[in-house]
Chains A and B, each alone.
Chain A
Amino acid sequence: MRALAQERALGDWAVKGLGCIGQIAIESLDDGTFLLSHRDDAGRADLTIHSGAEHADRLARFDDAENYRPLKTAPNLRHGWKMSLSDLEELRLALDHFYPGRLAAFFAFENGDLVTTPFRETLERQSGMYRIAAQISEEESDELIGNFCRSDGGCLRAILWRRDRIGTLPSTKLPPEKFDPGHDQAGAGGPVIPLLCQEACNLLVAEARRVVQAGR
């Protein structure tokens, strides 16, 4: 089957030396295969070897303590594994399990097609149980986003959206590099395939709802 444009782009990113994504190191081997592992695990000889992308979902779903990871871009990826992948298609499938939707977002970003949505617009679009989330105040939003989305313990995405249509920064409590798509949010300073955030996730919307409810 013909490689999809996104898989070809992934090959180009590897050639360019974008050897990491989030907490994962991507090693491109001469025979066209790939090895993935946790960046913290470099040099470890006791890693469990997995062959094939189908193992990625299980590894991505639970942290080191076997707790469910509802946010895959949270900096709590489990350790102790190495994954062997036979080609670009498998690499894409595996990375789509580890960081769902992020390759597509970066591909769109590189092609100038990634549309961002302001936080307020996301909230105003909600219905049902999430409708009240739009009642969150500016101060509460600043605090919530600054805490929930921070790369240190929150989420490793680079935020591209703004808080409102006039371009207010999502939070004054986040450092400027949180909004830089070229910055390695994992803190190691390597050339990375960035985890781009084009719109507030459902978890953040749910937190906004919780904040509004708590203030009532």
Chain B
Amino acid sequence: MENSLDTALLIVGHGSTVNPFSSMPTLMHATTIRQRHIFADVACCFWKEEPSLRDALFFFRDPAIREVCVVPNFISEGYFTRTVIPRELELSGPETGRANGQVWKYCEPVGNHESMTGYLLERAREVAPGVPEREATLLIVAHGTSLNDNSAIAAKLQAEKIRQRGLYAAVLNLYMEEPPLISDWLNLTETRNVVVVPFFISDGLHSYEDIPVLLGLETAQARAESGAQEIQGRSLFYSTAIGTDSRFADVIIEQAMAQRKQVSQSVS
């Protein structure tokens, strides 16, 4: 990996004021990346935790840092990546020049990366070992929100990509806050075996508490390390959030590098 010692990396996460584990994957990926000495500096900021996105406006005040790559550690394009992050970080587009001459480059969220499909499939296989895929339905579950129609697109795209591989009896993308709803899963699926992979960054409130309830699971059941949970004659296999995968550190770096390349190509 090429060093970018005039470049800093800012990883933007959601965070939580309630759940202590929400920001941990983002912080863990930052530590991993920092130890590789690829960037001049590596920092995180969060919507609901400290440091805030507004705090990050004062980061990287070293004259040697000419570029800052901003990578949203978000699963999907949506309200946060399109509205909140640009507003709070005062980003005007893919490239934003600052008064000190620094250029902040706004990168694609990690969930848009091409490796996601493979990671989702691996998670599904890990949580339901020995379950024939042809006899199972795979549910890619995500947040979804009425605030921005783009928020569910990433999960939908992933479901389509997996569906095209013809591995599972059915592949569905379901959402917490917009149809098709996670809470309708019993009506929407036909197979006995149903594998659920939360398309989320962390095992925070949504994947740990909310979605298990929507599925009809007790929270403790969802937290069970392995095995099926029986619900109304169905065997439900529930995975941890995709974003806890340690390889997300590589994805963050690649999203940063891709944006640098893209911008330099458009300039030359």
Contact = CB atoms under 8 A, between A and B. Distances in A.
Given A101-B55, A202-B17, A107 B50 contact: no
Contacts of A1: 5, 37
Contacts of B48: 70, 202
Contacts of A68: 18-20
B17 A113 contact: no
Contacts, number: 81
A62 B50 contact: no
Nearest to B57: A115
B73 to A, nearest CB: 16
A72 B17 CA distance: 11
A65 interface: no
Contacts of A198: 54-55, 58
Interface stretch (A2-10, A22-30, A76-84, A172-180): A2-10
Contact of B18 (A4, A6, A70, A115): A70
A87 B103 CA distance: 30
A140 B25 CA distance: 37
B58 to A, nearest CB: 4
B96 interface: no
Contact of B20 (A5, A54, A61, A111): A61
Given A101-B52, A101-B55, A202-B48, A70 B17 contact: yes
A70 B49 contact: yes
A5 B31 contact: no
B48 to A, nearest CB: 6
Most chain A CB neighbours (cut-off 10 Å) among B56, B62, B84:
B62
Interface in A94-132: 96, 100-101, 104-105, 107-108, 111, 113-115, 117, 125, 127-128
Contacts of A188: none
Contact of A72 (B16, B50, B54, B79): B50
Size category of the B interface is 20 to 34
B130 interface: no
A206 to B, nearest CB: 7
Interface in B35-62: 37, 40-41, 43, 45, 47-52, 54-59, 61-62
A144 B217 CA distance: 39
Given A57-B27, A101-B52, A128 B61 contact: no
Contacts of B47: 202
A8 B18 CA distance: 35
Contact of B58 (A2, A101, A202): A101
A178 B52 CA distance: 21
Contacts of A202: 17, 47-49, 52
B17 A127 contact: no
B219 interface: no
B263 to A, nearest CB: 24
A104 B59 CA distance: 6
Interface of A: 1-2, 4-6, 54, 57, 61-62, 68, 70-73, 96, 100-101, 104-105, 107-108, 111, 113-115, 117, 125, 127-128, 198-199, 201-203, 206
12 contacts: A2-B64, A5-B61, A70-B18, A104-B61, A105-B58, A113-B58, A114-B58, A128-B83, A128-B147, A198-B54, A199-B54, A202-B47
Given A57-B27, A72-B50, A104-B59, 15 more contacts: A2-B64, A6-B61, A54-B31, A62-B20, A68-B19, A71-B50, A101-B58, A104-B58, A111-B61, A117-B54, A198-B54, A201-B50, A201-B52, A202-B49, A202-B52
